[in-house]
């Protein structure tokens, strides 16, 4: 498109007429991050800020912001949103924000997802400013959208990871030095964490970042970790699949507790199971820790996406990574229609 859609031929602002467009399911995912201090990250993760319940407040603010987008952005249409989610992650000095918005209608929900990220980020800023008045909201951007005439769109990989030029450069150097191709080179992956405590901010997520780091080292472009309470894991997995990645790895919710629902949510999405992969992960864990046999994690294919459940423990994730490392290249090549069958 070479013309601005919200400006008419006389150069005047206008609301686009979408009455002739068909209603389709539309999804948009946006992201951003609050750059702050290690102290603030520690306080937020421990929920020790002077204004308590930081993440829950920011999440509700982001959802409310998405619902009010048409009031805040003057040329946006009013939409009947079917779902809005806001999730947070952490690095040493940032709080990452990811929001998704869904609707069925004649126009997209990109602005709603972006507004959710912006409002959630500004709410975080308000709640941490007493400790870090210099906190900065960065990189509010659209990650993916689907639906409508243009179908599926994903932000070019070179732009997805805001401020990560150095990481990509280092990854390129490691790839060039490698003697064998990386399993994830040119591929996408999403990490999903099932943990009610992490979602509430009362526990530290150690497994999600470990998986993200490992997948980056394998050459994948990684989305996440996306953190969901155990009760919301079905939605979390559906959200992970919405961008049609090559690989989805979940961690947590695979045990025998009444709240552990990851295997059931995964099975509902699978077209075909890969029982050997799940069994190999269990066997690797059981050899070191007998209770690993209690994991009910499954693996399989949802379309052309490979989904693998890993336990929620650091040891279980480490065992899973060890099993998957030699399998991924061949598995993903076969799913894509290539690879040797011998």
Report strand pairing: 221-228 vs 188-194. parallel
How far is it, in rounded angstroms, from Cα 242 to Cα 246? 11
Q: Which two tokens stand for residue 31?
A: 């992201």
Catalytic residue among 23, 126, 205, 232: 126
Residue identified by tokens 């499954």 is 298
How far is it, in rounded angstroms, from Cα 269 to Cα 40? 38
H or E segment to which residue 308 belongs: strand 305-310
Count the residues in the chain.
342
Nearest to 307 by CA among 258, 261, 246: 246
Nearest to 309 by CA among 270, 335, 338: 270
Whether the CB-CB separation of 94 and 33 falls below 8 Å is answered with yes
Region of residue 8 (left: phi > 0; alpha: psi -120 to 50; beta: else): beta
How far is it, in rounded angstroms, from Cα 134 to Cα 19? 45
Taken in order 221, 227, 231, 236, the sign of the CA dihedral is negative
What sections of the chain are H helices per DSSP?
38-46, 54-67, 69-72, 110-128, 157-160, 165-177, 196-200, 207-217, 233-241, 262-267, 275-286, 314-324, 328-335
> Could you tell me which residues are beta bridge partners of residue 138?
33
How far is it, in rounded angstroms, from Cα 134 to Cα 131? 9
The answer to whether residue 47 is catalytic is no
Active site residues: 126
């Amino acid at each position: 498109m070479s013309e601005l859609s919200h400006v008419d031929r006389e150069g005047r602002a206008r609301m686009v007429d979408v009455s002739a467009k068909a209603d389709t399911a539309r999804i948009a995912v946006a992201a951003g991050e609050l750059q702050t201090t290690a102290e603030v990250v520690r306080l937020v993760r421990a929920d020790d800020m002077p204004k308590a319940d930081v993440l829950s407040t920011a999440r509700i603010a982001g959802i409310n912001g998405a619902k009010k987008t048409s009031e805040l952005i003057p040329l946006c249409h009013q939409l009947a949103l079917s779902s809005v989610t806001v999730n947070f992650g952490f690095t040493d000095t940032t709080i990452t924000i990811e929001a998704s918005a869904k609707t069925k209608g004649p126009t997209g929900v990109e602005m709603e997802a972006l507004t959710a990220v912006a409002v959630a980020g500004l709410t975080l800023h308000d709640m941490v400013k007493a400790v870090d008045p210099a906190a900065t909201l960065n990189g509010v951007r659209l990650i993916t959208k689907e639906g409508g005439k243009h179908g599926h769109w994903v932000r070019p990989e070179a732009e997805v990871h805001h401020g990560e030029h150095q990481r990509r450069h280092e990854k390129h150097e490691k790839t060039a030095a490698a003697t064998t191709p990386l399993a994830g080179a040119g591929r996408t992956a999403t990490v999903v964490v099932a943990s009610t405590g992490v979602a509430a901010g009362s526990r530290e997520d150690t497994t999600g970042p470990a998986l993200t780091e490992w997948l980056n080292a394998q050459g994948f472009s990684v989305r996440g970790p996306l953190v969901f309470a155990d009760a919301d894991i079905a939605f979390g997995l559906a959200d992970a699949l919405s961008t049609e990645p090559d690989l989805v790895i979940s961690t947590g919710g695979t045990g025998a507790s009444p709240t552990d629902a990851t295997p059931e949510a995964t099975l509902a999405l699978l077209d075909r199971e890969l029982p050997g992969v799940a069994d190999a992960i269990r066997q690797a864990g059981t050899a070191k820790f007998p209770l690993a046999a209690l994991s009910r994690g499954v693996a399989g294919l949802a379309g052309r996406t490979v989904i693998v459940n890993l336990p929620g423990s650091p040891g279980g994730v480490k065992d899973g990574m060890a099993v998957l490392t030699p399998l991924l290249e061949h598995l993903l090549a076969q799913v894509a229609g290539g690879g040797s069958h011998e």
